[in-house]
Amino acid sequence: MKVFISSDIEGTAGITHWDEAEKVHDSYPEFRELMTGEVLAAIDGAIEAGATEILLKDAHDSGRNIITEKLPACVKIIRGWSGSPLSMVQGIEDGFDAVIFTGYHSRAGSETNPLAHTMNLRISELRLNGVPASEFHLHGTAAAYYKVPAVFISGDKGICADAEKLNPGMVTVPVLEGIGRSTISVAPAVARAKIKAGVKKALGLDRSKLLLPIADVTVLEVVFNNPTDAYRASWYPGAKHTGNRTVQFAAADFFEIMRAQKFILGI
């Protein structure tokens, strides 16, 4: 079995403040360790479920967070950013039996994680066909474009609830809940145990039922915090500035949505 893992940090058990997610701060190494621990738990679960080949995308910020020395031999890791429109699932086009998401967080505009955002902090909301979208929604759909089912996600309570609505039947493991600027988290050891068991269970499901749906035409809407960012983004070919700091782009091919969001968001 060939498995893809996309790992973020803002949905890691215990994380609460941006200082803990950014390399320049003294508190970052602790949460780099915790992110790595949750990834390793997912890998252990995948191996016990029969995975023989795992591609891991370090998908937070610099793309250089996971402690590579701890990875088992069956894992290859993508570090840094190539510039691919597939972004947090770069490499998914090579064909996989399932995709797993760890450390994922609530979408921009939600109140279920103090670190909630979608792709960057310059936007207040990103929508796909009118539905406020998370990074999971965007990249889970990109995986479905390549016929790869999204079977598991861990992160905050909000993203897990959103994932269950989008893709009923996938396994979700919430490890923290945001309340204002605070969080309530399970202990890291508990998070790791739940993630390992959850991944093992997820890979035993009927994966053919866990592809995220893709509409015949997808409408991407990005609501910027700053009107000047919206004006700049509206010059992307095919994009429209619809007012109220909002830029819209539509396509029948979901890859074009992924390409557009990369340039519209400036990432």
pLDDT tens, residue by residue, 48-87:
999 999 999 999 999 999 999 999 999 999 999 999 999 9
In what helix (H) or strand (E) does residue 102 lie, and over which residues does it extend?
Answer: strand 98-104
Average pLDDT of the segment spanning 199-221 = 97
Smallest Cα–Cα separation from 132: which of 124, 140, 120?
124
pTM assigned to the model: 0.97
pLDDT at 119: 98
Length reported for the chain: 267
Give the mean model confidence (pLDDT) for residues 132-154: 98
- What integer pLDDT is reported at residue 49 of this predicted model? 98
So where are the chain's domains? 2-123+132-209, 218-265
pLDDT at 221 (0 to 100): 98
Beta-sheet strand order (sheet of 246-251): 131-132, 123-128, 218-224, 246-251, 240-243
* DSSP 8-state symbol, 107: P
Q: How many CA atoms lie within 13 A of 34 on its CB side?
A: 25
Provide the percentage of residues in the chain whose pLDDT is more than 90. Answer: 99
The pLDDT assigned to 26 comes to: 96
Same topology between domain 2-123+132-209 and domain 218-265? no
- Residue 109, SS3? coil
Q: Which CATH number fits domain 2-123+132-209: 3.40.50.720, 2.60.40.420, 3.50.50.60, 3.40.50.10780?
A: 3.40.50.10780
pLDDT for res 266: 94
Three-state SS letters, 154-217: EEEHHHHHHHHHHCCCCEEEEEEEEECCEEEECCHHHHHHHHHHHHHHHCCCCHHHCCCCCCCC
Q: Where does 218-265 sit in CATH, by number?
A: 3.30.1360.130
The pLDDT assigned to 51 comes to 98
CB-based contacts of 47, cutoff 8 Å, min separation 6: 54, 72, 74
User: pLDDT (tens digit, 9 = 90+) per residue, 11-39?
Assistant: 999 999 999 999 999 999 999 999 999 99
Three-class DSSP category at 11:
coil
Return the percentage of the chain with pLDDT > 70, whole number: 100
